[in-house]
Amino acid sequence: MLSRVDDPKDIVRRGYDLVSRAYRADDGDDSQYAAWLELVETRVAAGAPVLDLGCGCGVPVARRLAQRYVVTGVDLSITCLYALIHLPLAEQPALLRSVSRWLQPGGLFLATVGHQAWTGLEKDWLGVAGGDMWWSHADASTYRRWFSEAGLAIERETFVPEGAGGHTLLVATR
């Protein structure tokens, strides 16, 4: 078992707390999320609850959607994004089953997941001393299977480039 110091969730929490300004300024450009948020706005009725898992400080979701929806954010760190891929692989299927239970029939779930399987630690992420970051993600085909097993039907899958690699955006319903 990992010691508290080596707990991946603590690494992620501490890492995002330290690199928040280098990672994303509160006044940063939200254009990379615009298509995702437009999808929510076209598919979810005004006044509906929106749960933002991995919300960090609430930017960009709350900034745009809080005027129209009842937005609740949940995160390990007040500055973290992409939360699913920061959980240990063994915990991810259970979280997806919980998401499926939380969604109303027809409810929409957007998730950024791994494109290729990888688990690892990056020391001094984004050049910030002590800002270590930990990721753990399966490949896209494993996420498709986990979503299906959780009762989530994938409607759309999009590759989201980032640096030399990228992630997969899955849009699913219950």
**Helices and strands, counts by H and E, the chain:** 5, 7
Query: How is domain 4-173 classified at the CATH fold level?
Result: Rossmann fold (3.40.50)
> What is this structure's pTM?
0.80
In terms of phi and psi (left: phi > 0; alpha: psi -120 to 50; beta: otherwise), the region of 130 is left
Q: State which residues of the chain have pLDDT below 50.
A: 1-5, 26, 77-81
Instruction: Please give the pLDDT value at position 21.
Output: 67
pLDDT tens-place string over residues 17-64: 777 766 665 456 667 778 888 988 999 999 998 888 877 666 777 888
Question: Would you kindly state where each structural domain of the chain is located, as residue ranges?
Answer: 4-173
pLDDT value of residue 1: 42
